Amino acid sequence: MRELGRHYVFELFGCDRGALDDLKAIEVAMEEGAEKAGATIVGKVFHKFAPQGVTGVVIIAESHFSIHTWPELGYAAVDIFTCNEMTEPMKAYDVLVKLLAPKSSTVMELKRGIMEEGGR
């Protein structure tokens, strides 16, 4: 059996509300996190909502990193999907935690594309 990728789902609660609404800081942290994780950035898109909130994705050769924030709730949803065993998603998470300062968080790891050797 082998897996094609690992998908991490992070739930961050009690975050710094100002940081959750700071598009530029989030963009920089997402890029820095991708680099520290050993991913290869190939593109990015970020958007600031009115009156508040940020969504963004860093497209990596290995798949993607994404974030969606709710400053009014102190909450951020982060996904990191990678199809490279050498990528270290927790290093990207550490960068985001430093910026967002959650009071609590959870992580779920999903194995994607699990199949028998030979493609089935």
What are the residue numbers of the active site? 63, 68, 83
SS3 for the chain is: CECCEEEEEEEEECCCHHHHCCHHHHHHHHHHHHHHCCCCEEEEEEEECCCCCEEEEEEECCEEEEEEEEHHHCEEEEEEEECCCCCCHHHHHHHHHHHHCCCEEEEEEEEECCECCCCC
| Backbone angles phi and psi of 92, in degrees to 5 | -70, -40
Q: Which two tokens stand for residue 5?
A: 């990728």
